[in-house]
Each structure stands twice: as structure tokens, then as C-alpha cells.
Amino acid sequence: MTIDNIPVRVLARTQQQAQTPPRKLSCIIQELCERADNRVTVEQIRDALGDRSFATLLLFFALVNMLPLPPGSTLILGLPLLLVAVQMVIGRRSVWLPPFLLGKSLQADQFRRLAAKMMPRLERLETFVRPRYWPFPTPRSGERAIGVTALVLATLVTLPIPFGNWFPALACALLGLALSERDGVLLGAAVLVIVISVLMLGAVFGTAGVMASMIFG
């Protein structure tokens, strides 16, 4: 049986995926700790995250670009953000990372100690950020829409604009966290930060244009 040439079975599976809440990140980390043998590699973490790998890495690389780093650092640190966003736009099922990075690892005991420090904060965060009011009908449509937005923001992050990188990076971090938990309220907050970013960049370019006209006009 089909509806508009789409099998009912496919429609039912798509609706189930859209309605099923994602696994909590704290649960994924706990399972990694329990399964860890000698070492935990970046590849193992990526595979454990599954369809949440894009959202988690988008959040991680955005947070890196929010750190107080020397001017021009975002020209380099913004590239991983661009890489993740591009893969979201083209619809990859898992994040591609360079082999040398996938092979990086921590000893299992180090990973467990790190997880023990992080878990209480993460669990508190998960009480506020949760699945609600998600506007996208399927996981893939939400991932692509956020990927397009993140690609534009990541491009802004890499531009050498004094104090102009922090708000786009914050918007990317909020988008990654919203996508990870399918939180429509947090998505709305991300949109608000994007509007602020655009207004601030417009003010910077406008001021630069006025000053240039005064100097060279």
C-alpha cells in the first residue's frame, strides 16, 4: 500500500523516528565507560554517538571557538566547524574525520575520570534541555536545515572580524545543543542569537564603511 507513491511502511518508520526522543548524552557516555577496555578512541566515541555525532561535534567545535584565543585563531579553529556543517548539508549519515584524528585515544581510566567530572553537570543540563516543540518532521530534515544555518555561521566565525566571532560561535553551539536534544525552545534562542549576530556584524561593516568614506571620500 502506498500514499502518493510513498510506502506506508516508510512513512510509519519516518514518523516513529521523528517521535522517538533521542538517547541522552549522559547515557551514551555511561555506556562508553562500561564498555571501555584499555583505551577509548575518537572513532569509538563518534560511533557511539551515532546520529548525534553531528550535533555533539557542532557543539564542541563551536565552544572551542568561543574561548578567549589570540586574534586570527578562528581562521584555523573555524575549519572543523565548517567541515561538520558541510557534511550535515550534504546529508552524510556519520561525521567524516581525518584518520589521524580518529585514532587519537585516552586510556580507559582517564576517560572514566573525565566522565565522572563531567556527568553531574551534563545531567543537570539535561533537566533543562529536553525534547519539546521540535518543528522538523524528520531527523534528517532538521539536521540539514541546521547544517545550512551552521555553515553560514561557521563562515562568519572564520572571518577576521574583531569581536565578531563570538556570537556566531554561540549560535552554532546553541544549534548543536538544540539538535542533540530536539529542543525547539533552545532552537528559538539560537535564532535570537543569530539575529543579534547579524545586527552586530551589520553595525561593524556599517561603521567601517562610514569611516572609510570619511578618510578616503
Q: How far is CA 151 from CA 14, 30, 58, 98, 215, in A?
A: 26, 31, 10, 19, 34
Give the range of the structural domain holding residue 110, as residue numbers without chain letter.
2-216
- Burial label for 103, CB within 10 Å (0-12, 13-18, 19+), is exposed
Q: Is residue 217 very low, low, confident or very high in pLDDT (cuts 50, 70, 90)?
A: low
Q: How many domains does the chain have?
A: 1
Residue 7, φ and ψ in degrees, nearest 5: -55, 140
Mean pLDDT computed over 195-207: 78
Q: pLDDT tens digit string along 138-147?
A: 888 999 999 9
Q: pLDDT tens digit string along 143-166?
A: 999 999 999 999 988 887 766 788
Q: pLDDT tens digit string along 35-54?
A: 888 888 889 988 888 878 89
Residue 165, φ and ψ in degrees, nearest 5: -100, -25
Beta-carbon count within 10 A of 71 CB = 10
Which pTM does this prediction carry? 0.79
Please give the Cα distance from 165 to 100 (Å, whole number): 28
For the chain, how big is the Rg over CA atoms in Å?
Answer: 20
